[in-house]
């Protein structure tokens, strides 16, 4: 027991024991030092005191399962507040135990994995950064005697190969070369020994720790005073990362080339230096075409927006995302959601801009169609009840606030329309309704609104009209409907309608639904009195 206590007290790993409610009962010095709280003060505290608020729900959820006996051990990556007040990523490992008296305890330890997590987050780097790293990698230097034995290696050479200087000197170390590449290197070395000059080979080395690295090896023969080879000098460069990067870049380039998104790169002056297939097709860019300036691909408004608002953001090294309008090869204007990423040089000057865009035209058209369907009748294309009531409520608000403004509402119902559906079919009835809708619309002013409520019912809203003018409109509507038979299903069908009229005005309080009911009542009066006529609501 004493040994366990000593291990607990002196362990460099933060450890603690909590009760079933999460309150700390024991904590070793490493834990107290990690969270920056005196050891006595930390007792009784709970997870909420040091756990990042965003990670606390997960910790509580997993802890509940642990205490319930659903799992034996939990291991979570969470952020814990450290002594300097910052949050560091930790691997929290917790297990449940019970004392001899049956008290449930939670035994936990923390492993600081902040460096690993941050390293993972920084793995995504640009092609330019990979190239800079590759250019700055130090090179291993080696010298061999005429028999190929190493007589000098620098520190970087030992880092690449995994051999110490003492282990390297005095041997050819052919066993360092990967077995599958050994014959290739031996043959190149023999040619160098027989013919002189130099060689450049790429091959794999098998390091003592079992890892394999790709290297680029250059070697040249150094002649002595007698003309015979006195030594061989060369370099060894670890190109594993470079090859992996090239493979990754090739994959990314293949993805960029085949994606349906519009991908391109422009230089600091705006000239297009590369565009993927999708962008070339949309904008009509061909290998034979004259160099294209990006300003020619955008509308005048988008170009002005770029220079006024977007370019300053890019000069600061920040990414910009938003919607811009572009021209297609045939002159159409399309809406494109673009992400623009700048590349700056060491002095902070803009070198190039990478652009990824997605054509929003089809999506916006679908959205517009859906919005139109929400407020318009699918069959006739006229406004529906919802849009009519919206317009009517606005007109009523104007009338109610004025002593002079008026608004007229006309309710139209086709006479004996059911007969058409019963005898000729619903397709014929739909065709007739479309023609009636066109006739009604053609008989109205531009400010008037004609809507279809459903079935064979239509409503006309006429802002600014009083009773006399509304009666004139009713007559025109009746004439437009019944003026000539309508050809449907191979037959010519005569159509009439009954119209109810109501007028609101005089600064009185009116309601949209109430006016609609009044017009409906007047319409039924017209039907009762013989159809093919209009009646005015008289209260």
Q: Are residues 164 and 237 in the same domain?
A: yes
Query: 248 in a domain, yes or no?
Result: no
pLDDT of residue 290: 59
pLDDT of residue 367: 78
Q: Are residues 395 and 529 in the same domain?
A: yes
Q: Give the domain-ending residue among 119, 149, 165.
A: 119
Q: Are residues 491 and 447 in the same domain?
A: yes
In the structure encoding, which two tokens stand for residue 211, read together? 């890892």
Q: Are residues 354 and 383 in the same domain?
A: no
Query: 269 in a domain, yes or no?
Result: yes
Query: 505 in a domain, yes or no?
Result: yes
Domain total for the chain? Answer: 4
Q: Model pTM?
A: 0.43
**Which strands, in side-by-side order, build the sheet including 140-144?**
150-153, 140-144, 229-238, 212-223, 198-206
Query: 408 in a domain, yes or no?
Result: yes
Q: Are residues 531 and 401 in the same domain?
A: yes
CA–CA separation, 309 and 446 (whole Å): 39
Whether the Cβ atoms of residue 86 and residue 66 lie closer than 8 Å to each other: no
- Dump strand ranges (E) for 190-318: 198-206, 212-223, 229-238, 262-267, 272-275
Q: Are residues 22 and 70 in the same domain?
A: yes
Residues 6+ apart with CB under 8 A from 95: 66, 72, 73, 74, 106, 107, 108
Per-residue pLDDT tens, the chain, 539 aa: give them.
677 777 788 788 898 888 888 888 888 898 888 888 888 777 888 777 888 999 989 888 888 888 888 888 999 998 988 878 889 999 989 998 887 777 788 888 989 888 888 877 776 444 344 333 333 446 888 888 888 888 888 888 888 888 988 888 888 777 888 889 888 888 888 888 888 778 888 889 889 998 999 988 888 888 888 878 888 888 888 888 877 777 776 777 677 777 888 888 899 898 988 888 888 888 888 876 657 899 899 999 999 999 999 999 999 999 999 999 999 889 999 999 999 999 988 888 998 998 998 988 878 778 777 888 888 998 999 999 999 999 999 888 888 877 778 899 999 999 999 998 888 999 999 999 999 999 999 999 999 999 999 899 999 999 999 999 999 999 999 999 998 999 998 899 999 999 999 998 865 567 889 899 999 999 999 999 999 999 999 87
The enclosing domain of 334 has a CATH number of: 3.30.450.20
Whether the Cβ atoms of residue 143 and residue 151 lie closer than 8 Å to each other: yes
Query: 131 in a domain, yes or no?
Result: no
Provide the pairing of β-strand 272-275 with 320-327.
unpaired
User: What is the SS3 string spanning 200-221?
Assistant: EEEEEEECCCCCEEEEEEEEEE
pLDDT of residue 286: 81
Q: Are residues 531 and 425 in the same domain?
A: yes
Q: Are residues 231 and 274 in the same domain?
A: no
CA–CA separation, 502 and 499 (whole Å): 10
The string over 309-344, giving b where at least 16 C-beta atoms fall within 10 Å of a residue's C-beta and e elsewhere, is ebbeebeeeeebeeebbbbeeeeeebbbbbebbbbb
- Dump strand ranges (E) for 99-240: 104-112, 140-144, 150-153, 198-206, 212-223, 229-238
The enclosing domain of 507 has a CATH number of: 3.30.70.270
Query: 252 in a domain, yes or no?
Result: no
Q: Residue written as tokens 């309080």?
A: 509
**Which strands, in side-by-side order, build the sheet including 320-327?**
272-275, 262-267, 350-359, 333-344, 320-327
Q: Are residues 81 and 193 in the same domain?
A: no
What range defines the domain where residue 11 resides?
A: 2-119
pLDDT of residue 288: 67
- Cβ-in-10-Å burial (0-12, 13-18, 19+) of 280 comes to buried
Q: Are residues 350 and 391 in the same domain?
A: no
Q: Are residues 199 and 50 in the same domain?
A: no
pLDDT of residue 311: 92
Q: Are residues 238 and 263 in the same domain?
A: no
Residues 6+ apart with CB under 8 A from 437: 380, 381, 382, 450, 452, 458
Query: 54 in a domain, yes or no?
Result: yes
Query: 271 in a domain, yes or no?
Result: yes
pLDDT of residue 321: 93
């Amino acid at each position: 027991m004493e040994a366990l206590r000593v291990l607990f007290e002196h362990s460099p790993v933060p450890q603690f024991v909590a009760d079933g409610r999460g309150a700390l009962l024991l904590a070793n010095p490493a834990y107290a030092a990690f969270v920056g709280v005196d050891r006595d003060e930390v007792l009784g505290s709970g997870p909420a005191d040091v756990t990042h608020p965003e990670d606390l729900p997960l910790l509580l959820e997993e802890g509940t399962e642990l205490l319930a006996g659903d799992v034996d051990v939990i291991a979570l990556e969470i952020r814990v507040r450290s002594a300097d007040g910052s949050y560091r990523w930790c691997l929290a490992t917790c297990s449940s135990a019970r004392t001899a008296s049956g008290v449930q305890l939670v035994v936990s330890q923390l492993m600081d994995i902040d460096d690993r997590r941050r390293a993972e987050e920084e793995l995504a780097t640009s092609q330019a950064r990979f190239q800079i790293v590759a250019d700055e990698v130090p090179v291993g230097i080696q010298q061999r005697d005429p028999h190929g034995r190493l007589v000098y290696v620098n520190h970087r050479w030992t880092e690449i190969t995994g051999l110490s200087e003492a282990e390297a000197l005095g041997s050819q170390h052919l066993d360092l070369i990967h077995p599958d590449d050994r014959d290739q290197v031996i043959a190149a070395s023999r040619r160098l020994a027989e013919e002189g000059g130099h060689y450049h080979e790429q091959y794999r080395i098998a390091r003592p720790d079992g890892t394999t690295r790709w290297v680029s090896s250059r070697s040249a023969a150094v002649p002595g005073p007698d003309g015979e080879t006195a030594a061989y000098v060369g370099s060894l460069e670890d190109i594993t990362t470079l090859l992996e990067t090239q493979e990754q870049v090739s994959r990314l380039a293949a993805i960029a080339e085949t994606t349906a998104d519009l991908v391109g790169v422009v230089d600091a002056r705006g000239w297009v230096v590369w565009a993927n297939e999708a962008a070339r097709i949309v904008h009509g860019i061909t290998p034979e075409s004259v160099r294209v300036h990006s300003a020619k691909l955008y509308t005048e408004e988008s170009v002005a927006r770029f220079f006024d608002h977007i370019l300053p953001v890019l000069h600061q090294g920040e990414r910009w995302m938003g919607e811009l309008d572009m021209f297609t090869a045939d002159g159409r204007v399309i809406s494109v959601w673009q992400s623009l990423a700048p590349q700056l040089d060491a002095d902070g000057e803009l070198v190039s801009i990478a652009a990824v865009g997605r054509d929003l035209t089809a999506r916006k058209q679908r959205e517009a169609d859906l919005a139109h369907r929400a407020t318009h009748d699918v069959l006739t294309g006229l406004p529906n009840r919802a849009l009519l009531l919206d317009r009517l409520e606005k007109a009523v608000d104007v009338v109610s606030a004025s002593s002079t403004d008026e608004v007229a509402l006309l309710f139209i119902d086709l006479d004996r329309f059911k007969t058409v559906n019963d005898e000729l079919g619903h397709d014929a009835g739909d065709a007739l309704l479309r023609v009636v809708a066109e006739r009604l619309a053609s008989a109205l002013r531009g400010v008037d609104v004609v809507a279809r409520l459903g079935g064979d019912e239509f409503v006309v809203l006429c802002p600014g009209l009083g009773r006399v003018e509304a009666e004139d409109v009713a007559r025109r509507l009746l004439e437009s409907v019944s003026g000539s038979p309508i050809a449907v299903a191979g037959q010519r069908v005569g159509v009439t309608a009954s119209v109810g009229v109501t007028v609101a005005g005089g600064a009185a309080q009116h309601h949209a639904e109430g006016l609609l009911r009044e017009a409906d009542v007047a319409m039924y009066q017209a039907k009762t009195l013989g159809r093919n006529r209009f009646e005015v609501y008289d209260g």
